[in-house]
Structure 1
Amino acid sequence: MAPRIALATTVEMTSPDIDETLILNHLPEAELAAWDDPTIDWSTYDLVVVRSTWNYAQRVDEFRLWAAGVAKQSTLVNPFATLLWNSDKRYLLDLKELELPVVPTTFVPAGHTPDASDLDGDVVIKPAVGAGSLGARRIRSDITEAQAHVQTLHEQGKVAMVQPYLEQVDRIGETAMVYLGGEFSHAARKAAILSGGDSGAAADALHAEEHIEPCEATLAERYVADAVVASLPGVPHTGGPLPYARVDLLPTEDGPVILELELIEPSLFLQVSDGAAERAAQAIRRCLP
């Protein structure tokens, strides 16, 4: 019998996203299946690939339980331990421990008050568990407003994270470095979501709209992103090469720094690179047991 592959999405998705559409064209043994559909028997699949589960951050405990259950019934990718680790942006502390260049970040758990110096200037405040720009706010030199947003996140039971707004992103943009099967595939340039306003995705949105263009990765961007991906087997939460990973980099005068490492449900921007959809399908197929 031919293997069965599920591309995990959500019941809130009314139609496949462009990545899923392109992958399905090259992976006929795959089909879409919503992670939050209780009628699905995940044991009937040989491989379950987490893709557009874009509402997981609002239901993170439920999502983690789902992923743990699927991992006991099928082969789950990215692996459960990887998903668990990557679902909380405090993984940035692990990357920093590996001496990788990370955007300066202060994490503020509930019950703690951030230092005023951390909130001074042009800053971005967002939840440590979140997808896309949901819950993110850019606050310009207003400590009172910044403290209020931290408090709002705490009242929602979330850990707040504070980062300086790196203004070069307004001119250059954010670079998404996409890896398929552990190998660099392509890069895409994303316009700064928070450049023109204070907020990212709306509270009821699955994700924020992004302006994407193909781009040629610089040598510095390759150096940093390659180092991140090379470090993953050394982080105890991952095994061998992952079928997909996305490293998001921001420009600074001293070179690119890591904004996020996306290992759960990143858009892979397959449409911007010839052959990327085929490479993604091959990387997924290699995960079959």
Structure 2
Amino acid sequence: MNRIALATTRDLVELDADDEALLAALPEASLAAWEDDGDWAAYDLVVLRSPWNYIDRLDDFLAWAERVSRVTRLANPLEVVRWNTDKRYLGQLAAAGVPVVPSVFVAPGEQVPDAAVTGHVVVKPTVGNGSNGALLVRDSPEAALAHVEELHALGRSALVQPYLEQVDTHGERALVFLGGELSHAATKGAILSRAVTRSTGVYADEQITAATASDAEREVAEQVLRAAAEILPAARDLLYARVDLLPTAEGPVLLELELTEPSLFLTYADGAPERTAAAIRALAAAPA
């Protein structure tokens, strides 16, 4: 039997629901915190699952992922993790023709175009997850610019996007793919337009419901994955992917492509933990 590690973090105050469901379906696996000095070579496969504090220690996390990749198989692959942990990948996908929420990237020392902070906008770090560091600003360019400056003061690049109001009524659709095949979908309620709570201490609490992806959503999600594979050959062979879409009058648009450590909402779809376990077992058993 192959030895499998599900990589998490010591900072989680309680077991994540996805991890709990996956451990039940994959009893040969064990949780291991990425910060620990473990013997990663003892595993046939290390699967990134809930190492969500990496956003504050990205260099350390990527160095750890590189060390793991030298001694065993990492999922998703190191090249994918390097690319996907900075949201500037959205610019590459947009250039490839993917419908993406308009995105302006502002590195420290750069100026924000006036048009980017007009109206209702979201300002967030390019390296972030769980809505950490994200701020919804309504009709206040001054407040938007101030948040950009706060991120810059922390040494972080900023991402500025228009706030698409349809998310308040329709939510955000997440399509989960396993081994390149659509497994299930979920709807995430709007987060930034309501009071944000963090019961885990690591990420914002989400309002999740089971969903069925529409044909249009599935078409865009598959376009996203094809484009990612063209940009980055390592993305042609993914264990998991989550494509987050927002509704617009013209159709779904990409908000984020989650290839590093996404919640997979396994408890919201019948058979999802078992399908995920089967995909992990197949990868662990496959020739390197």
Which TM-score applies when normalising by structure 2? 0.95
CA distance in 2, matches of 1:44, 1:100: 40
Residue 14 of structure 1: CA displacement?
Answer: 3.3
CA RMSD of aligned residues (A): 1.5
2:122 match: 124
Query: Aligned partners of 2:20, 2:234: CA distance in 1, in Å?
Result: 27
Deviates more, 1:10-19 or 1:249-258: 10-19
Aligned to 2:70: 72
Pair 1:133 & 2:131 matched: yes
**1:7 corresponding residue in structure 2:** 6
Q: Give the Cα–Cα distance (whole angstroms) in 2 for the partners of residues 116 and 99 of structure 1.
A: 25
Partner of residue 106, structure 1: 104
Q: CA deviation at 1:61?
A: 0.7
User: Residue type of the partner of 1:247?
Assistant: V
Distance, in Å, in 2 between the alignment partners of 1:48 and 1:286 is 13
**C-alpha distance in structure 2 between counterparts of 1:28 and 1:212, whole Å:** 26
Cα 1:201–1:227 shift into 2, 3 Å = farther
Closer/same/farther in 2, CA of residues 286 and 231 from structure 1, 3 Å limit: farther
Aligned residue number for residue 223 of structure 2: 227
Q: Distance in 1 between matches of 2:197 and 2:100?
A: 23
Aligned match of 2:156: 158
Of 224, 242, 249, the match for 1:246: 242
Rounded to whole Å, the distance in 1 between the matches of 2:133 and 2:58 is 15
AA matched with 1:264: T
User: What residue in structure 2 maps to residue 196 of structure 1?
Assistant: 194
Counterpart check, 1:20 vs 2:19: yes
Q: Say which is worse superposed, 225-234 or 180-189, in terms of deviation.
A: 225-234
Residue identity opposite 2:33 in structure 1:
A
The equivalent residue for 1:34 is 33
Unaligned runs of 5+ in 2: none
Q: 2-side partners of 1:112 and 1:145: how far apart?
A: 17
Query: SS of the residue aligned with 2:234?
Result: coil
Which one-letter code corresponds to 1:150 in the other structure? V
> How far, CA to CA, are the matches of 2:212 and 2:183 in structure 1?
11
Q: 2:260 aligns with which of 258, 264, 276?
A: 264
Map Cα deviations across residues 56-82 of structure 1 (whole Å, 9 max, x no partner).
Answer: 111111000000000001100100000
Please give the secondary structure, in 2, of the residue aligned with 1:76. strand
Q: What is the distance in 2 between the residues matched to 1:234 and 1:122?
A: 33
Helix, strand or coil: the match of 1:238? helix
SS at match of 1:55: helix
- Residue 201 of structure 1 and its aligned partner are, at CA, apart by 6.2
Are the equivalent residues in 1 in contact too, given 2:98–2:227 (CA < 8 A)? Answer: no
Which letter does structure 1 place at the counterpart of 2:106?
A: V
Q: Normalised by the size of structure 1, how large is the TM-score?
A: 0.95
Alpha carbons 1:81, 1:237 under 8 Å: kept: no
Partner Cα distance (2:52, 2:189) in 1:
20
Q: Is the 8 A contact 1:169 1:250 kept in 2?
A: yes
Q: Which residue of 1 aligns with 2:92?
A: 94
How big is the shift at 1:234? 1.8
Identity of aligned residues (%): 51
Question: Which residue is 2:53 aligned to?
Answer: 55
Partners of 2:219 and 2:240 in 1: CA distance: 18
Pick closer, same or farther for the CA change 1:178–1:85 going to 2, 3 Å: same
Per-residue CA distance 1:90-110 (angstroms, 9 max, x = gap) = 000111121000000000110
Give unmatched runs, 5+ long, in structure 1. Answer: none
**Retained in 2: the 8 A contact 1:133–1:201?**
no
Give, in angstroms, the shift of residue 113 of structure 1. 1.2
The CA distance in 2 between the partners of 1:8 and 1:78, in whole Å, is: 11
